[in-house]
Chain A
Amino acid sequence: GQNIDQPTEMTATEGAIVQINCTYQTSGFNGLFWYQQHAGEAPTFLSYNVLDGLEEKGRFSSFLSRSKGYSYLLLKELQMKDSASYLCAVKGNYGQNFVFGPGTRLSVLP
């Protein structure tokens, strides 16, 4: 079976750092993706990891450990506009197989 787990909700303060975790158990692995989704909008691509380690893109970084089935998204210097849901998705061996986690709703407070 396939299972992806994320915390349901998180709260952080403007200017702070927050780490959103994602654990997965999937049949085959061909990359892990993070998406951001503002309320009422479509998900938008944030980052991608296929090898172990940290990928940094500006204020956002994503980490992957394939042996542990674990990833996290790190958001630095939080801004109010970062309030959104963050979706973890794993791509399986077959190109069509994206499995999404339930998403983590992040609220950034002033």
Chain B
Amino acid sequence: DAGITQSPRHKVTETGTPVTLRCHQTENHRYMYWYRQDPGHGLRLIHYSYGVKDTDKGEVSDGYSVSRSKTEDFLLTLESATSSQTSVYFCAIANQGLASTDTQYFGPGTRLTVL
């Protein structure tokens, strides 16, 4: 299994509070992703990173920001959490070399509830 951890694994917070989720990898993979998973929507990309300090927006980036100061860590921040951000958040990593066979490997997920 790819070495990916997420913290916290569960969090309950109140509307309007800031929340930061952490993804940590030990695989030295270049690419890291944050997804959210909601019933009926599948996995939707929030932000991704293609290197240290290199990030870009995904499909559902509004209300979220990210940072990657080290290869191994990718942080997702909700500046002011809203109830619509209640979801399960997955981090994923990929080597994404020239070979198109590269897939993504997922972390265990963080269940976030915003009251």
Contact = CB atoms under 8 A, between A and B. Distances in A.
Interface of A: 4, 30-31, 33, 41-45, 48, 50, 87, 89, 91, 95-96, 98, 100-103
22 contacts: A31-B100, A33-B103, A41-B109, A42-B106, A43-B43, A44-B106, A45-B104, A48-B101, A48-B103, A50-B101, A89-B43, A95-B31, A95-B50, A95-B94, A95-B96, A96-B31, A96-B33, A96-B45, A96-B50, A98-B45, A102-B40, A102-B42
Interface string B26-46: 000001010100001111110
Contacts of A100: 35, 42-44
Contacts of B33: 96, 98
Given A41-B108, A95-B31, A96-B31, A30 B100 contact: yes
Nearest to B91: A42
Contacts of A42: 90, 106-109
B64 interface: no
Interface residues of B, number: 25
Contacts of A43: 43, 90, 106
B58 to A, nearest CB: 8
A45 B4 CA distance: 15
Interface in B48-103: 48, 50, 56, 90, 94, 96, 100-103
A91 B107 contact: no
Query: Among the interface residues A41, A42, A50, which one has the most CB atoms of the partner chain B within 10 A?
Result: A42
A45 B103 CA distance: 7
Contacts of B100: 30-31, 50, 91
A31 B101 contact: yes
B45 to A, nearest CB: 7
